Structure 1
Amino acid sequence: MNPTEVGQTPLEALQATVLLLLAQAESFLATFLRPWNFYQIGIALGLFLLAHLLKMALAPRMRDWMRARDGWPTWRMRILIVIHRRLRMIFFVALILLVVAVMRQVTWPSRSYLLGIIAQLATAWLVIALVTRLIGNPTLRIFVRYGAWAWVTVSIVGLTEQARGLLESMGFELGGTYLSVWLLLQAIVLLVALVALARFLAGAGAASIRRNETMSPSMQVLAVKFLQVLLYGAAFFLALKLVGVDLTGLAVLSGAIGVGLGFGLQKVVSNLVSGVIILLDKSIKPGDVISIGETFGWINALGARYVSITTRDGKEFLIPNEDLITGQVVNWSHSNDFVRLDIYFGTAYENDPHEVRRVAIAAAGSVPRVLSDRPPVCHIVGFGDSSVDYILRFWITDPSGGLTNIRGNVYLALWDAFKEHDIHIPFPQREVRLLNETLPPVSEA
């Protein structure tokens, strides 16, 4: 309710609500200061002390019993842990509900009225504490738990209308629209609920999309991102619509914000657009092995702003999408997984080149990752100063397994094979001749 609609300013409405609450508090205190109310408070404190003693006595035994439950499912153990942490409150709720039930049978209802309220509050708080454990996000869990506790407490003590009036009286004017605290709280609660629903639907939809084997990995990522944007955007605008916010002014505001983003966040927008282009043209996809500049590794994930690349040494590089669009990228597994590697070596002139080529090809073919259906080849590429130079070429299909290690394995195979067949790898040799063998005399100082 907008206070201006009933002829009151927000300040006047706030003052009227506060005076009403003070009058009700005074009436409550006058009723509360009676002997049997103190008896009920004493009974509640005694029950809480008894619940604490029961918890102190039974909690260690329950902990030992839980430790002995080897092989139980994880979800069952988590439930037991939650119950173990709330033993005191569980005992208190059970005891006070039992006491209230007995007192209502043997005495007047007024003698257990306050205990009934305490029992309702304790039960509601316990249920909320247990249910909110299902929320995975710690921040959201705390927000929902304390918000639910506050609302349930106000409802049980019968101050719902007064609390609503107080929250409606506090607010501010924005563009001719009165935004009260009550309206903002409604918007926040609806937004949190709808975002949680959108998150659940997005997770279920993403799992279904990833199971679709007819879609390429890049199209799967694009479909998941589009579904997330659609669901979260719908949740946001639906929450605003449900609380009565005029979306016409929001559309104008979003247009102005869009113009500002176009000038101030050009790089961010460029990376977002580049990410969509990468997903559409399928130039790279999760699992591809790429090289960009000095970075070599495989793509771990495609993000809206960057691409995550994991290298062989465990480093994770976040490359902006714009760099992948405008720069030169080597994709080792773009159209197929076949990768050809070249290594160079040289042997002595006294070794037979035909024998060297045969031994080198056999040595490379003995390495496990080298393909046999595309056999290695070896060619002479030149006659050097100290050696006959060769190039050895071979193919692999798993570049994500590393390139340096397979080259090293092939070099080791060549070393062992050359040792076995008495093939020598020469070192550079130089011959120095003195044209004038007569040395000038050395002057003595």
Structure 2
Amino acid sequence: MSFFSNLFTRQEFTARLVERSFNTTSGLLELALCAGLMLLTFWLSRLIMRRRHQGDISGKRQFIRHLIQRILWPVLLLLAAVAAMYLWKATGHRELWLQLLVMAARWMIAIRFVLAVLHAVIPNGRFSSQLERSLAAVLWVVFVLWLTGLDAFIINVLKSMVIPLGSSKISVYTILTGLLSVCVVVVVALWVAQLLDNRLMQVQRLDLNLRLVLSKIVKTLLVTIAVLAALPMVGIDLTVLSVFGGALGVGLGIGLQKIASNYISGFIILSDRSIRLGDRLTVNDFTGYVTKITSRFVVLRSAGGAEALVPNDNFISSTVINESYTGKSLWTSLDVQVAYATDLPQALDIMTTVAARQERVAADPAPNSFLVGFADSGINLRLGFWVNDPENGFLGLNSAILLDIWRRFNEEGIEFPFPQREVRILNDAEDNNVAAASLQAAAQLTRQNTRSNEPASAGADAVDSSEQDGGANDK
């Protein structure tokens, strides 16, 4: 019993003991045995996971598989190290490296379990591998500090650093342990909320919006309870935090008003089912399909792949066009122009038949064709129909219908008109008469202008002559 009771207790691994193990044959053999156990258990864990490899899975099974894959090697290493340590001690040798290996394997199990939980709680892409490696490095540093006994010294230093808070005083150690406890409890709460969310999403008899509302309510309650339960666990009195209550209320009322409004609006649009996943919405001249509903915004994805993040408050305070509110099908139309000599009943029947043959076109209500108007070059026709799956787009469907109409019109001899202009050219006789009349009118106008200018010219010449005679007499 003493062997198992002292198996995980902290030992005094001083530098002198480590140095002595390198100078003895038993110490080197023990070190080689530890290296061999690490390689053997690593190869065995890889072999087991390779044989049990299956296809893609999701949900709870995916987490269990990821957890087993992460902790299988340290679990095998721990079992092998404990068995080897028992046999090594039975032979009369003193264990050192095997004891270190047992503690390291146990700590590795704890680290990998924590990382597996964080990987399941935090969404993909946010908890990157770099952050995971950094957190693992920090945890290994904590293990080394605990193993060497330096943790007691660091804890005493942190406890001596006191921060006054009103009439109370809180040490840095209390703050750090409180934050750590809150983080651990919140992570556990988020993990439980994730499991409950997966269960709720599998309940098909409940409406999807109702499932989303229940999921968000459960997650919010669990996180709130976790924070309120974690602070007293480390000795932080909740009444001390009342100092920040007024400031937090003012901040929510002024600075965080929009965020609070979006958060509450998210629950409203989910509870009244005015917006659902897959709905086709038009908000601020942007049309797209709802792909995600969060506590703060709704994601709209257009047919071209562009995504818009619309705050939830916009769906409460402004007008939103929901083309899928009462039904998923959408109505669309195509315009076609035919020549004036076309048999219109036949053309309308062809257009209706072509649209009805498409699988994506709804049979009830059935497609229909209409005469829209008489244009300059032809007669305008319109084909209207309902599309069962508008989320797949309209371009391909419209192209297929128009191509089929073109083929059927060509088979029936129905002509597609094009703009026409009539140009009239006058004959030579008429052209000569018009030109002669124009010349005669121009000559007559010239003669009239000449006659009207002759008297004025004569009077001017007489005045000039008298002025010249008067000048000669003066001389």
TM range (shorter): 0.7 to 0.9
Q: Which amino acid aligns with 1:350?
A: A
Could you say which residue in structure 1 is the equivalent of 2:283? 292
Could you say which residue in structure 2 is the equivalent of 1:308? 299
Greater relative CO, 1 or 2 (CA 8 Å, sep 6+): 1
* 2:399 corresponds to 1:379: no
* 2:271 corresponds to 1:280: yes
- What is the aligned counterpart of 2:142 among 150, 169, 177? 150
* 2:92 corresponds to 1:103: yes
Could you say which residue in structure 2 is the equivalent of 1:13? none
Could you say which residue in structure 1 is the equivalent of 2:345? 354
* 2:315 corresponds to 1:324: yes
Per-residue deviation, 1:387: 1.0
What is the rounded CA distance, in whole Å, between the counterparts of 1:157 and 1:360 in structure 2?
86
Of stretches 375-384 and 221-230 in structure 1, the one that deviates more from structure 2 is: 221-230
Could you say which residue in structure 2 is the equivalent of 1:38? 20
Could you say which residue in structure 1 is the equivalent of 2:403? 412
Q: Which amino acid aligns with 2:142?
A: A
Could you say which residue in structure 2 is the equivalent of 1:126? 105
Is there any run of 5+ residues in structure 2 with no aligned partner, and where? 1-11, 57-63, 120-130, 436-475
The number of aligned residues is 399
What is the rounded CA distance, in whole Å, between the counterparts of 1:192 and 1:240 in structure 2?
11
What is the rounded CA distance, in whole Å, between the counterparts of 2:69 and 2:220 in structure 1?
38
Q: Which amino acid aligns with 1:356?
A: A
Computed over aligned residues only, the root mean square deviation of the Cα atoms, in angstroms, reads 3.9
Whether contact under 8 Å (2:78, 2:105) holds in the other structure is: yes
TM-score w.r.t. length of structure 1: 0.75
Of stretches 348-357 and 58-67 in structure 1, the one that deviates more from structure 2 is: 58-67
* Structure with bigger gyration radius: 2
What is the rounded CA distance, in whole Å, between the counterparts of 2:255 and 2:106 in structure 1?
48
Whether contact under 8 Å (1:51, 1:89) holds in the other structure is: no
* 2:194 corresponds to 1:203: yes
* 2:31 corresponds to 1:48: yes
What is the rounded CA distance, in whole Å, between the counterparts of 1:381 and 1:260 in structure 2?
60
Could you say which residue in structure 2 is the equivalent of 1:24? none
* 2:413 corresponds to 1:428: no
Could you say which residue in structure 2 is the equivalent of 1:223? 214
Whether contact under 8 Å (1:218, 1:285) holds in the other structure is: yes
Can you list the C-alpha shifts for 1:3-31, whole angstroms capped at 9, x where unaligned? xxxxxxxxxxxxxxxxxxxxxxxxx89x9
Whether contact under 8 Å (1:377, 1:393) holds in the other structure is: yes
Equivalent pairs: percent with the same residue?
A: 28
- 1:34-113 to structure 2, matched below 5 A, reads 38-39=20-21, 42=24, 43-44=26-27, 47-49=30-32, 51-52=34-35, 69=51, 98-103=87-92, 112=94
Is there any run of 5+ residues in structure 1 with no aligned partner, and where? 1-27, 105-111, 441-445
3-state DSSP class of the match of 1:103? coil
Aligned in 2, Cα 1:84/1:144: closer, same or farther, shift over 3 Å? closer
Aligned in 2, Cα 1:126/1:171: closer, same or farther, shift over 3 Å? farther
Whether contact under 8 Å (2:21, 2:28) holds in the other structure is: no
Per-residue deviation, 1:102: 2.4
Of stretches 319-328 and 302-311 in structure 1, the one that deviates more from structure 2 is: 319-328
Q: Which amino acid aligns with 1:282?
A: R
3-state DSSP class of the match of 2:91? helix
Can you list the C-alpha shifts for 1:375-419, whole angstroms capped at 9, x where unaligned? 111111111111111121111222222233322222222222212
Per-residue deviation, 1:204: 2.4
3-state DSSP class of the match of 1:187? helix
Of stretches 333-342 and 400-409 in structure 1, the one that deviates more from structure 2 is: 400-409
